A and B are shown apart, each in its own frame.
Chain A
Amino acid sequence: MGRLIVDNLRFRDRGPYSFAIAGGECLGLQGESGAGKTLLLRAIVDLDPHQGSLRLDDLECDRMPAPQWRKKVSMLPAESCWWLDVVAEHFHDFSAVSQEHLALLGFGPEVGGWQVSRLSTGEKQRLAILRMLENRPRALLLDEPTASLDQANSQGVENLLCEYGRANNAPLLWVSHDPKQLDRVADRCLYMRADGSLEPCGGK
């Protein structure tokens, strides 16, 4: 249940990539900057043109409208964007956000009323995770989710995301530059070489 299957995925001059992530499994992805990790995530979330097939169990990406796929297979970009004035306006219903999740990321319920212009980069990043989870995605593609966070907040984010993956049997693809972090969160790891090819490496 909940397998994310990437089959012969090609885009630009890259690929083919073939791998699968089981439901509840976390696959770590490392590699040098500029190797194309973000591009791979963008292709999987169908934000960039690509060939090959993407499946979530028996749901095929090409068979459903793109926005629906992106709600099921959600990507957290390295830098989050906010376009309205107040935090809660970016949520369908902020009051429905779990208090437990808020607390885990170090927020109280009043954060919904905060002005976006006064948020720090780290606060934006943590709130972007809650915003993404509101769609109840069935697979997560995480592009350096803790790059802008201190250690305590990183810990909270790791706990929240891993817990979400386990509870919902969701596959996680976790890009990180920190091998120690991947040791903590990932069941197995891939390394992306500068030419874009993947090879297995470590994991917990």
Chain B
Amino acid sequence: MMGVKPLSAFDLSLAAGLVLALALCSWRLRLGLEKRMAISALRTTVQLLLIGQVLRVLFAHASFPFVFLISMVMLMVAGREVGARQHRRIKGFSGWLLGTGSMFVSSFAVAFFALAVVIANDPWYTPQYAIPLLGMLLGNTMNGIALSMDRLTESLWQQRQTVEQRLLLGQTSLEAIHELRQQAMRSGMIPIINSMAAAGLVSLPGMMTGQILGGSSPMDAVKYQILIMFLICAGTGFGVVTAITLTSRKLFDDRQRLRLDVLQKR
């Protein structure tokens, strides 16, 4: 198997020059994005270099507690990100727990299934497989869950009068937000369904591209990509269903009153 051609710091700085040129352009056009662009570019560099070091150590010592610890950190950060992406989120610890819990249920369950049953390495938590897989799953379920929760709280906020009208007519809380729940779940799942439909034709998925660059044969890379797509689809879907079910429960109290006071605006 042919190895990767290593990139030098100079090679990367050439690519950074492109971003710099874009920042200059943003400044000339007064888009006001140059500062954010710089910070984000810097973050990407620092974060990825750091994770590279962590992974290097992790791969050298494949111990379960270490793998578990890293995956927990990834989960916490993803949970924070879900909250941060919402316009109106549920206040306090329970809001954080909702998003994080749904991601835990879906991503971890699906990742465990893939590692232990489908790939079946020995040991099943081999970090070269476990960490990238979990990372792809968390990254994608995070998008879906954040999107769907945002959609639910936002549409409830805008249509609270209608929802309360339906409660007044004696509908249960679930009946009163039935359509809103459906829309929220759909909006969380549609992106992954679309990207499954477009995979290979419009876009070459990132993981597969990386594997091919890394020297894998295209067919091996493709098979792994198919696996990943299915896992992401299932993880996102079940995560979205869990998140919306838990969130909609949280938005009503035990007397089926709409309690938008549990939301806080960012």
A residues adjacent to B (C-beta < 8 A): 45-49, 65-68, 70-71, 74-75, 77, 79-83, 131-132, 135
Q: Is the CB of A67 within 8 A of B165?
A: no
Smallest CB-CB A-B distances: 5 pairs:
A71-B170, A81-B165, A81-B162, A66-B255, A66-B256
Contact indicator A65/B162 (Cβ below 8 Å): no
Instruction: For B164, list chain A residues within 8 Å (CB).
Output: 47, 77, 81
Q: Do the beta carbons of B161 and A67 come within 8 Å of each other?
A: no
Neighbouring A residues of B171 by C-beta, 8 Å? 67
Q: How distant is the Cα of A47 from the Cα of B160 in the complex, in angstroms?
A: 12
8 Å CB contact of A135 from B167, B170, B172, B258: B170
Most buried by B among A74, A81, A131: A81
In the complex, 30 of the A-B residue pairs with CB atoms within 8 angstroms, ordered by the A residue number, are: A45-B168, A46-B255, A46-B257, A47-B164, A47-B167, A47-B168, A48-B257, A49-B255, A65-B256, A66-B255, A66-B256, A67-B170, A68-B170, A70-B170, A71-B169, A71-B170, A74-B168, A74-B170, A77-B168, A80-B165, A81-B161, A81-B162, A81-B165, A81-B166, A83-B162, A83-B165, A83-B166, A83-B179, A132-B168, A135-B170
B162: which A residues are within 8 A, CB to CB? Answer: 81-83
Q: A79-B161, A83-B162 are in contact. Are A49 and B257 (CB under 8 A)?
A: yes
B163 to chain A, nearest CB (A): 9
With A71-B170, A135-B170 already in contact, the answer to whether A66 and B257 are too (CB < 8 A) is yes
A67/B167 contact (C-beta < 8 A), A79-B161, A81-B161, A83-B162 known? yes
> What is the distance, in angstroms, from A192's C-beta to the closest C-beta of chain B?
21
A49 near B168 with CB under 8 A, answer: no
Partner among B159, B172, B179, B258 whose Cβ is within 8 Å of the Cβ of A67: B172
A70 touches B161 (CB 8 A): no
B257 touches A47 (CB 8 A): yes
Question: Beta-carbon contacts of B235-253 to A below 8 Å, as 1s and 0s?
Answer: 0000000000000000001
Quote the shortest CB–CB distance from A159 to chain B (angstroms).
23
Most chain-B Cβ atoms within 10 A of its Cβ — which of A68, A71, A83? A83
Q: Indicate the member of B162, B164, B172, B258 with the most A CB atoms within 10 Å.
A: B164
CA–CA, A147 to B75, complex, Å? 54
Residue in B closest to A62 when the chains form the complex, CB atoms: B255
Provide the bound-state CA to CA distance between A45 and B172, in Å: 14
Instruction: Enumerate chain B residues within 8 angstroms of A47, measured Cβ to Cβ.
Output: 164, 167-168, 257-258
Q: Please, how many angstroms separate the alpha-carbon atoms of A135 and B167 in the complex? A: 13
* Residues from chain B with Cβ under 8 Å of A77 in the complex: 164-165, 168
A-facing residues in B120-169 (Cβ within 8 Å): 159, 161-162, 164-169
**How close is A85's CB to chain B, nearest CB, in angstroms?**
12
Q: Which residues of B contact A46 (CB under 8 A)?
A: 255, 257
Chain B contacts of A68 at CB under 8 A? 170
- Complex-state Cα separation, A67 to B256, whole angstroms: 8
